[in-house]
Amino acid sequence: MPPAKRRKVAPPPEIEPEKTEASPSEPPATAADDDKPPTPPPADEPFTSSSTAAPSADADAEAASKAQDRMTRFRALQARAKTSSDQNLKEAKRESQRLAADPSQLTALSRKHANASQKLLKAEIEEAGGDFERKRAWDWTVDESERWDKRTRKKEAHRDDTAFRDYGRESEKAYKRQLRGMGDPDLERYTREKLAAIERAAAAGTLEIVETEEGELIAVDKDGTFFSAANSTTFAQHKPDKAAVDRLVENMKKTEEAILEKRRKRQANNGDDADVTYINDKNKHFNQKLSRFYNKYTAEIRESFERGTMI
């Protein structure tokens, strides 16, 4: 196949360069300017591709470090939760074991163990020819031994005095119990009030302060009105503060509540807390006997009577 013929193409038209007028502020370009090296771009121009790659790498590294930090904290929280759950499980097991064991039996076992140990030690000392009481006293001082003997005697007297003897003795025990509940006396306040009373009596002339040769101050009552006697009524002039009155009222309320509680328990034991269904004491005991034997069979009938649905 013969080659294709070349077609004649018209030459492109020549484009004349546009003539631009130089601005007066810019000097005309010269041949010397063309020989100068190009000036670098200013600092405020946008970064090139190499400068934008560095911030993206820093951001990725920061995100990775934050994720690692969060994962570390999460692992620490998981470990703490596991440790807490294990401790709670151990405490729950110990508590269940304590509740399963009878404290009275544990006390009895410990008391028996102490008695057995003491008897064994006593037998060993007596076999060796020694005095058990003398050797046991070596472990205690004289003051501790006296306090222990006093405590033992007091405990035995209290155990023997639990039964009712007379109302006077019961009142004395209640009085001592109330004194123990009052707490320790305020000696500073007592001393302060005593000094104030002495000063008032000395200013009024009913009390004279005399200094002895040894330098001791003695208060001398001139007319016998300062110090209390058998027929004195000055104690009635004392006015307690509000706190003391509040303590007295609270103590009286507690006493009243204890009496009512004992009365309710006694009535519950005797069956007096329910409705009155008897006409005398004999009928009361008979009704209690019937209730004890037949209440479990007549419960539905009595409930129907109370609801009013019994036909």
User: Per residue in 246-279, pLDDT tens?
Assistant: 988 998 898 899 888 888 887 777 666 566 777 8
141 within domain boundaries: no
Claim to verify: residue 254 and residue 265 sit in the same structural domain: yes
State the SS3 of 119-159.
HHHHHHHHHCCCCHHHHHHCCCCHHHHHHHHHHHHHHHHHH
Q: Amino acid letter at 31? A: A
The Cβ of residue 230 has, within 10 Å, a number of other Cβ atoms equal to 4
Claim to verify: residue 259 and residue 295 sit in the same structural domain: no
Give the three-state DSSP class for 87. Answer: helix
164 within domain boundaries: no
Q: How far apart, in whole angstroms, are the C-alpha atoms of residue 300 and residue 29?
A: 123
Residue 223 has pLDDT above 50, yes or no: yes
Q: How far apart, in whole angstroms, are the C-alpha atoms of residue 94 and residue 100?
A: 10
131 within domain boundaries: no
Q: Using one digit for the tens of pLDDT, what is the confidence trace for 164-198? A: 778 888 888 888 888 887 778 888 888 888 888 77
Percentage of residues in the chain having pLDDT higher than 70: 75
Percentage of residues in the chain having pLDDT higher than 90: 8
Residue 47 has pLDDT above 50, yes or no: no
* Better-scored residue on pLDDT, 304 or 53: 304
Please give the average per-residue pLDDT across 197-208, as a whole number: 77
Predicted local confidence at residue 151, as pLDDT = 92
- Strand-pairing partners, residue 211, are 217
Predicted local confidence at residue 20, as pLDDT = 45
Claim to verify: residue 283 and residue 259 sit in the same structural domain: no
Q: How far apart, in whole angstroms, are the C-alpha atoms of residue 178 and residue 69?
A: 65
24 within domain boundaries: no
The two three-digit tokens of residue 197, written as one number: 């009373």
Q: Which domain holds residue 264?
A: 247-273
- Residue 54: pLDDT band (50, 70, 90) is low
Please give the average per-residue pLDDT across 95-115, as a whole number: 82
Number of domains into which the chain is organized: 3
The Cβ of residue 303 has, within 10 Å, a number of other Cβ atoms equal to 11
Predicted local confidence at residue 132, as pLDDT = 84
Q: Amino acid letter at 17? A: P
Element (H, E) at 113: helix 103-127
Claim to verify: residue 198 and residue 222 sit in the same structural domain: yes
72 within domain boundaries: no
Claim to verify: residue 260 and residue 283 sit in the same structural domain: no
Helices (H), 161-280: 167-182, 187-204, 242-270
67 within domain boundaries: no
Residue 159 has pLDDT above 70, yes or no: yes
The two three-digit tokens of residue 32, written as one number: 């010397």
82 within domain boundaries: no
Q: How far apart, in whole angstroms, are the C-alpha atoms of residue 50 and residue 290?
A: 106
Residues in the chain: 311
What is the distance in angstroms between the CA of the first residue and the CA of the last residue of the chain? 129
Claim to verify: residue 227 and residue 213 sit in the same structural domain: yes
222 and 206 in contact (C-beta within 8 Å)?
A: yes
Predicted local confidence at residue 45, as pLDDT = 47
206 and 223 in contact (C-beta within 8 Å)?
A: yes
151 within domain boundaries: no
- Strands in the chain per DSSP E: 207-211, 217-221
